Amino acid sequence: MRDKIYSIVLSAIFVILLVWCPTAYFLDKAEIIKLPENKNIKVPEKVYDRSGALYSVLNSIEEGKANLDNIYSNCLPMYENITVFMLDGERSMNHFLLETVYNFESAKPISNTAVVPENDPGTSPENPVGEETTEPATESGKIKYKAKRIGTDWENKVWAFAEEGQPYSTGWTDKTLLADEAELRRRVNMQTAHINRIANANKDVNVYVYVCTRFQETEIFGEIIKDIQIMRNEFSTYGLMMEFFDKLDMTVIKGADYFKIDALDLRLERICKTDHHEAAQGGYSIYSDIITMMAKDTPVLGAPREVTWHVIDGLELRGSHVWNHGYTEIHDDWHYYKADLPENRVLYEWIDEKGPTQKQVERYESGRYAKDTFADHYYQFWTRIANAYYPSNNTGRNLLMITDSYSWAVSELLTSHFDRSYATYPSFREHWSLNYNEFIRDNNITDVVIFHVGDRILFDIQNDIQFDRTITD
């Protein structure tokens, strides 16, 4: 009996690997069935120089190996569910372990005589974790910068930066993508094709596109890293972002813009120093850009609202750039804004039980917030809107936001300019299959804004935006 069970299990694995995966791959290519977008970045591990013998044959072999890797991972049944489960488990376990270790280390007495080197040199010759460049740092104006790599996640290398001669505690962190330029360009083509398809599906609404830029998508990023030896293989994706805008169908898209962080002082003010999300100042900047862009076509929407600025004394954010790697040298102060909004009724996503941001303001101002070192204050403070209703606005305009978590520090201000607003989050599973035209018809949508963080809207680098699932027929 046991032998039969083993035979059945082995036969099932054999059928899945050798029959189903390649069959599904070719059926998808023939458009007989529809598989999800590729869930992995699979590019050749090696590229042979043209000066070498048989370079074309060797490159073809490497491309074939990458294609096989695609087939035998991306076409596996339940591949997506398994990888999401594993990633969530890894992040949760990392968070728990790092918090435990940090609290343990913090409890140790500090010696007055021990000298601890600032950096822990790595052993790998290629961008080792912990190694700081020993070459002259890059110069932007009169300021020179240094960098060290503090970790790697599934899609990125994670770096700490600081001015030359200053400790890293005075600097900031950023990520660079692991994918090469050719793969990123392929993804730009894929993303713009999806967005153009969505925009062309209904020409009775005003469609806008906005890129929530990461620092790697700026020209100044390229200037800062160009002479840092340890970052010699990194590059700015600004040119790819410009290609993205060039490929948008502006005959049907009313406007397109991007988050302005193209100077270092703007980057440090508008994006968290330890998290990939925008700071409160960045959220207000994104909101102002979008409503200004839309008001050019629809003046009744008005100008950006005025806000007042505040900070929670003593709150230190160590966000998504660092919490998976236990890096504690750099932190963010927690800034936020307040605004007087018209009477409204807002429904929040079912997973978001926090209620309006104003409720979180009161909680944070009274000191009732998570105190653990790696607490996710961006998630805990800002709220995730499902829909909003402003009965006194009478603009005749209804908004659909196709967005991600970058909208959480933006949406309460943005929706306050419309009668009714709705948000859909295609990177979240419960929002995967939006019937675009049906939603527009049922909710009298007049304006659509598609805005996401740069690596998602430009490259779908996390393979989760699911634009291909948006129904436009």
- The full DSSP string for 172-226 is EEEEEESS-HHHHHHHHHHHHHHHHHHHHT-TTSEEEEEEE--GGGSHHHHHHHT
Tokens at residue 389, please?
Answer: 């209703």
Contact partners, residue 116, CB within 8 Å, separation at least 6: none
Listed by start position, the domains of the chain span 2-76, 181-469
- What local confidence, expressed as pLDDT, does residue 215 receive? 97
Q: Could you give phi then psi for residue 257, rounded to 5 degrees?
A: -155, 175
Q: Rounded distance, CA 359 to CA 382, Å?
A: 10
- The full DSSP string for 109-158 is PPPSS----S----S-SSS-BT-B--SPPEEETTEEEEEEEEEE-SSEEE
- What local confidence, expressed as pLDDT, does residue 17 receive? 64
Positions in the chain short of pLDDT 50: 38-39, 41, 102, 106, 108-127, 133-140, 350-351
- What local confidence, expressed as pLDDT, does residue 109 receive? 45
Q: Could you give phi then psi for residue 59, rounded to 5 degrees?
A: -65, -35
- What local confidence, expressed as pLDDT, does residue 122 receive? 33
| pLDDT 10s digits, 177-236 | 999 999 999 999 999 999 999 999 999 999 999 999 999 999 999 999 988 999 999 999
Q: Rounded distance, CA 47 to CA 60, Å?
A: 9
Q: Could you give phi then psi for residue 310, rounded to 5 degrees?
A: -145, 165
Tokens at residue 465, please?
Answer: 């935006």
Specify whether the CB–CB gap between 259 and 170 falls below 8 A: no
Pairing between β-strand 398-403 and β-strand 420-424 as defined by DSSP bridges: parallel
- What local confidence, expressed as pLDDT, does residue 39 receive? 45
